[in-house]
């Protein structure tokens, strides 16, 4: 199935605890989320494999892929659809050969220097950010703004999502900058109604 990056949900263990991880993700998918990334910096691999298996079961039949943040072993053992790597999360080509051709493989890119060094053959998509400063990720890079985002997208050989401080009212500017879609944590996770929060990205 072609990868639809229109609205990319990244989970956060604390924020998703409000309604429960699986409940939050299922509601967000009802609201229009097209990709789910399981991100938990503190869980053990075993805990994350368990979470990923529960999410995979909940997403069955939805066509929405499940991508694992950072951890190749979890992606491989859990039956997830792919892996999202940061700049310090190891070798992209090695991850591609371990995961196989069918897996979805993404990489976070913060600037043009990093973009110049990507391996476009091994990767499926990029995540550009942060667009804005955000408290959801500690020690994030300098914010790009929409002009910085547009410049990265213009130079990118791969489709990209934009991340960092994005709310529903920014969706048009994200698409306008040429990104395939916004990637969000707090605009959906932890909201009173995650389904409505996701749907709001598609409202005018
Ligand atoms: N990478 C860059 S910013 C960010 C990540 C994982 C966090 C985005 O969270 P939010 O709540 O959508 O600003
Ligand atoms: Mg990472």
Q: Return the CATH number at 65.
A: 3.20.20.70
| Total domains present in the chain | 1
ipTM of the prediction greater than 0.95, yes or no: yes
Ligand 2 ion: residues within 5 Å (CB): 70, 86, 89
Domain that holds residue 105: 8-202
Q: Is residue 1 in some structural domain?
A: no
Q: Is residue 118 in some structural domain?
A: yes
Contact 185 CB / ligand 1 (< 6 Å): yes
Catalytic residue ranges: 39, 108, 137
Ligand approaching nearest to the C-alpha of 68: 2
Encode pLDDT of 148-173 as tens digits: 999 999 999 999 999 999 999 999 99
How high is the pLDDT of residue 204? 64
Q: For residues 81 and 52, what is the distance between their CA atoms, to the nearest angstrom? A: 10
Q: For residues 35 and 62, what is the distance between their CA atoms, to the nearest angstrom? A: 10
- What rounded mean pLDDT belongs to the chain? 97
Rounded distance from Cα 71 to ligand 2 centre (Å): 8
How high is the pLDDT of residue 1? 76
Q: Is residue 2 in some structural domain?
A: no
Q: Is the pTM of this model over 0.95?
A: yes
Q: Is residue 101 in some structural domain?
A: yes
- Decide: residue 121, CB within 10 A, 0-12 exposed, 13-18 middle, 19+ buried: exposed
Q: Determine phi and psi for 40, rounding to 5 degrees.
A: -150, 105
How high is the pLDDT of residue 165? 98
Contact 166 CB / ligand 1 (< 6 Å): yes
How high is the pLDDT of residue 89? 94
Atom of ligand 1 nearest to the CA of 165: 13
Encode pLDDT of 92-138 as tens digits: 999 999 999 999 999 999 999 999 999 999 999 999 999 999 999 98
Average pLDDT over residues 30-59: 98
Q: Is residue 3 in some structural domain?
A: no
Q: For residues 79 and 172, what is the distance between their CA atoms, to the nearest angstrom? A: 34
Q: For residues 67 and 8, what is the distance between their CA atoms, to the nearest angstrom? A: 10
């Amino acid at each position: 199935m072609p990868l639809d990056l229109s609205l990319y949900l990244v989970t956060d263990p604390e924020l998703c605890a409000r309604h429960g991880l699986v409940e939050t993700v299922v509601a967000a998918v009802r609201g229009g989320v097209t990709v789910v990334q399981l991100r938990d910096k503190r869980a053990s691999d075993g805990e994350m494999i368990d979470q990923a298996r529960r999410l995979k079961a909940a997403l069955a039949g939805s066509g929405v892929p499940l991508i694992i943040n950072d951890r190749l072993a979890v992606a491989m053992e859990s039956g997830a659809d792919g892996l999202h790597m940061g700049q310090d999360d190891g070798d992209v080509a090695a991850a591609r050969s371990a995961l196989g051709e069918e897996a979805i493989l993404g990489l976070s890119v913060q600037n043009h220097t990093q973009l110049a060094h990507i391996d476009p053959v091994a990767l499926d998509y990029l995540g550009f950010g942060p667009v804005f400063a955000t408290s959801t990720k500690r020690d994030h890079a300098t914010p790009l703004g929409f002009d910085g985002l547009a410049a990265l997208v213009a130079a990118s050989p791969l489709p990209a999502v934009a991340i960092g401080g994005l709310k529903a009212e920014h969706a048009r500017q994200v698409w306008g900058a040429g990104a395939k879609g916004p990637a969000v944590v707090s605009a959906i996770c932890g909201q009173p109604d995650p389904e409505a929060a996701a749907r709001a990205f598609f409202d005018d």
